[in-house]
Every structure is written in structure tokens, then in C-alpha cells.
Chain A
Amino acid sequence: MTHHNTLPLKYIDEYRDARLVKELAGKIQRETRHPWTIMEICGGQTHSILKFRLEDLLPPEITLIHGPGCPVCVTPTEKIDRAIDLAGRHGVILASFGDMLRVPGSETDLLSAKAAGGDVRMVYSPLDVLKIAGDNPTRQVVFFGVGFETTAPANALAVIEARNRGLKNFFLLSSHVLVPPAIRTLLNEGGGRIHAFLAAGHVCTVMGYEEYIPIAATYRTPIVVTGFEPVDILQGILHAVRLLAKKEYRVHNAYARAVKKEGNPAAKALIREIFQVTDREWRGMGTIPMSGLELSPAWAEFDAEKAFEFRVKKKHGAGKCLAGEVLQGKILPAQCAEFGKTCTPEHPLGAPMVSSEGTCAAYFRYGKYQNNRS
């Protein structure tokens, strides 16, 4: 294991303990009764599974498929085109998280817009964007804020702070998505191909897991709230196997050190204050009803969708990229003809090859195309 320093990482190192990993793998081996397919929702978990080669520790009856939990990946092309449109304008500063800058829109990406003279800035936190807006009062500063429920409170906080600071030049171009409607969509059309879910632990730190209880019961599909380290993920899989073996269709919290049943009430209240639920298009999955967040009318003055006229045409087709199939766990990246050939992290054809949470990037980095740099 490599850290950039030698200090122990509390709450990380102990969850990578080789002996615990082996014990858990043994239990999963012994307790697996049937061929079961388990989907992990979150792209961060996908990367851990690949990085630590956890699939090698599982019995052949267990198939892990990878879900849509990569916010950068599910952001529709049209939204990215809107951000690129704004980035190219005189007087606009467009800020976003690093991964967003390299995701291809229909024709180009934000980094290319930057190279062409656009003022595009990478930020670590939405709060950084407030500073940019304060420092540049004559410019319009747009934060392209994507994300799941995990990121929604931070983006909401930036909007509230913009009002508190009297900033008139801060705007949010938001493309927020919600996990439970996506799980329902996968289960509605899945025809029984997914037997259990590992729910995304960090989404649940904010939202809790009450929303998942009726989903588990209605679809007779266990859902296990799961963390991100190898011990956490194997523990999630073990609990999924146990619930499946006992035919118990409920939610189990296997990430109790970070997740409470009710989530984080203060963060949830903030989301409810700033955003309202809306239909949202997901890249490759179409429009899912009530699956996104948009700024509510009381905060419309900060909504980039309302403040700007866009010159973006709706384009159809994603070219050769099979992101939609990958994001729904219908194919593995290697089943895409472009994987590792015309599509690589240096020259991505689609978002799943760009993002640090994208499934194609995980397979490229840790799979058979693994490079020796890491």
C-alpha cells in the first residue's frame, strides 16, 4: 500500500487489514448458496473493488456488476454543452470540479474551451467559488455543480453563502441526481438480473437509509449500506449474501461508523431549503422522473439556467461510446469495442473513462491494461 506519507491513516488502514479481508472472504465463500448478482451503486466502490482485486477473493457464484454512481458520468451531454457555451463567453468565469473539465460534451470539453481562451477554473470545494466571485465583482462566476446527494449540501451552502455575502455575480449550473429513483429504474426494467445492492455509503451519510427500506421490500432485493475500504466492501457483500440466503428483503447498515438511519438532519434540511425535486435526464439512461434537484424558486436569482440564454442544440446519439450500457451494469468496459483502443484516460471518448469514479477508468487503471506507474 502506498501513501504519500508514512503517517498512519486512522479509519482507513485498519479497514485494509489483510487478515480481516481474508476472514471475510472465507465467510463469503462458505455462506454463498446460489449464483447471485450484486450491484454496487457507487463508482468509488467500483474503484476499490478493482484496485484491491476483491473479485478474486469471491466465490465464482458471486457476480459484481457496477452501477451508475458516478455523477460526472451520468451528467447529460447537453448540460456539459451548456457549461462549455458559458465558458466561451467574455466576462464569464466557469468553475467546476477537476473531473468535469475533461468529460466530452457533444463536440468538445471544458479543458479545450479553456485552451481556446475561456476562463475555466478547477475548484476543490464550492466554497472556493465564492472567493472567486468576491475577488472578481465585474465578472459572472458560474459554478458547474454536479453530484449526488453527497455533494448537494455543499452546493446548497455555497448558494446560501452567496446571498449572505451579497454576491450578485455567483450562479449555479446544477445537474444534481438522486440515487433511489435510479435504483427503482434499474429494478423496474432489470427483469431480476440484480439480486442485491450495495448502497453508496457517503450518499447515506447525508440522506440516511429510510428511503431504501420500501425499495428493498417492494422489489424483494436486499440493500446493504456499504463503505469504501476493502473490509467495508467485503462486509457489505457478506451481509448481502446473508440476507439473500435468509430471503430477508430489508436494509442493513454495514457502515455504521459514518451512517445513521436518519442521515444528517441539518444537511438534509439545507437541501430541502435550497432545492426542489425535478425530472432529470441521466446520460445513457434517459429521463428518470423525480430523480434530480434544481434550485427552488426562492433561489432562482442564483440559477444559471434562468440567468443565461443558452446556444446549445439538443443532439442525439453518443457516437461509439456505450456509457449507458456500462452505467446500468449491462456490459463490462471490455465489451465496448473502443475500450483501451481509441478510448483511454488520455483520450476519453466517454465520461466513464474520464472520471476517477468511472467504471471504464477503473478497468483501464487496474485491469489488464494496468500501467506500472502506480
Chain B
Amino acid sequence: MKNSSNYIGEFEELVLLAIPSQGENAYGVTIRQALEDATNRSITVGSLYTTLSRLEDKGLVQSWVGEPTAERGGRAKKHYKLTGAAEVLLKEVQAARQRLMSAETIEGLG
């Protein structure tokens, strides 16, 4: 990742990975649930939405507003999906990790 504008933090990466895992049903509640299940830590609504809005500003996430539902008190859901740029970025991050986690590095850890 030579381009500094493509830099993403750990939590942003986790959020990017959680979105496609939910398919078409990726919205705040399901993304948060997926993150909590995967990381075993509590995720607040505030931190999730600030991250999602930052990812949207970076052009890594697309969103659209769905239909209002009764269980949400007549409020709509905001669905999310990854953009092409995010998919490329995640592959780059994955490749960088694999380069760093070479066999020698693992052996060096003892």
C-alpha cells in the first residue's frame, strides 16, 4: 500500500470484512452482530456508524436506504456494500499480511 490515502485501520478493515459476510442483509444491526461474534468484543453503535461514514467518505463503501419496518418503529434500514476499490484494497492488505507472515517470521516467533 504505497498510497497513504488507502490506509485503513484495524477496525475499518474488520468492518469491511463484515459487510460482504452478511450479503444483501448488511445493515447496522447485522454488521455489528457479525463483528461482535467474530471478535468477542462489544461494538458500540456510535463507533460502528462513525467508521461506516468514514469508509463511505473514502469511497470504500456504498449505502442505500431500505424500506421502513415496524420493528424499527417505522424507521428505515441503511444497507451497505463494498465498492470495487474496497475489494482491491482488501486483497492488497491480505497479500501484505501473507508476505509479512512468511515461514521465517513464524519460526522467529518461537
Asked if A and B are interacting partners, one says no
Spell out A's residues near B (CB within 8 Å). none
Chain B positions near chain A (C-beta within 8 angstroms): none
